[in-house]
Structure 1
């Protein structure tokens, strides 16, 4: 194995890391916000039906198909091409980011829903008795407990989204996988190149795992014997 080639390729692939992180972080932020909105919609019958339908569609179809539908499919509608959204939707970056956000929101919504169901009803009632508003209960009681309960599952979703950014290379975005594919087409040394790419994704996954474990210890110090 040519270690000089591996080291040079590793450095070259790292040039795509900022775009990978950019897509991953923005997708997680947008997905979390939309997921929270979906869970708030479930308070009404119609909202619950809409949220359930959204989750069913985006969890039941492959992310790659969603990327293609947004990037290639939306261009087929004349009213979209003539709207103010077209300068964004004709760009692969915004199409890829939108697909990642919509997909992440569906999975995060279910993770948050499980966390919200784990919130003891007694603490919510205590908040109401103490005179707290619904928003104050949500901000100070419900969300902190729900996020703490959902953190282990959500860390897996973070890793999944970071790996899913590789799919945007199919619409010409040159993140880590996009650079790797271009290098393979030039050198035909697929094993070494994709080995370097895999090492980068493994490092990101390890970092998220460690960070998630640290946050979990900070949020639940009594379970780990850690002083907050």
Structure 2
């Protein structure tokens, strides 16, 4: 195994790290906002039906197909090509980011819904007795408790979205995987190149796992036999 080649390939693949991180973080932020909106819609029958259908569709279809449908499929509609959205939807970056956000929102919505169901009714009632409004109860009681309950599952979703960003390379975006694919087509040294990319993804995933464990201990110190300083 050529260590010089591997070292150079690490540096080359790392040039795609900013785009990978950009897509990853923005998709998580956008997905979290949309997931919260979907859960708020579940307060009535019509909103619940819309949210449930959305989750069913985006969880039940592969992300790769969703990316292709947005990037290649939307261009087939004339009214979209003539709308103000076309400058964005013809750009592979925005199409890839939109697909990642929509997909993440479906999974994050279910994770958040599970956390919301775990909120003790007594805590909400105590907030009402104290004179809190619905928005205050949501901000100070419901969301903090739901976040602590959902954190372990959500950390897995965060890592899954990191790996999912690799699929945007199929629509010409040169993230880390895109650069690796281009290098393979040039050198035909797939093992070394893919190994370099895998190690980088593995390191980021390890950092996320450590950060999630630290945050879980900070939010729930009583579960780990210590108190928050």
Which TM-score bucket, shorter chain as reference? over 0.9
1:206 aligns with 2:210: no
Whether the aligned pair in 2 keeps the contact of 1:217 and 1:226 (CA below 8 Å) is no
Could you say which residue in structure 2 is the equivalent of 1:82? 82
Q: Does structure 2 retain, via aligned residues, the 8 Å contact 1:119–1:146? A: yes
State whether structure 2 residue 133 is matched by structure 1 residue 133: yes
The residue number in structure 2 matching 1:110 is: 110
Cα distance between partner residues in 2 of 1:13 and 1:194: 10
1:36 is matched with which residue?
36
2:223 partner SS:
helix
How far apart in 2 are the matches of 1:7 and 1:121? Answer: 56
Q: Distance in 1 between matches of 2:86 and 2:216?
A: 42
| TM-score, length-scaled by structure 2 | 0.99
The Cα shift of 1:227 comes to 2.6
What's 1:3 paired with? Answer: 3
Task: Report the Cα offset of residue 222 of structure 1.
Answer: 1.5
1:28 is paired with a residue whose SS is helix
Output the TM-score relative to the length of structure 1. Answer: 0.99
What are the ranges of 5 or more consecutive residues in structure 1 without an aligned counterpart? none
TM-superposed CA distance for 1:46, in Å, is 0.3
Q: Is the 8 A contact 1:184 1:190 kept in 2?
A: yes
Aligned to 2:228: 227
RMSD in angstroms over aligned alpha carbons? 0.5
Q: How does 1:1-228 map to 2 (within 5 A)?
A: 1-224=1-224, 225-228=226-229
- C-alpha distance in 1, partners of 2:84/2:107? 29
Runs of 4+, deviation exceeding 6 Å: none
Equivalent residues, number:
228
Give the Å deviation of 1:226. Answer: 4.2
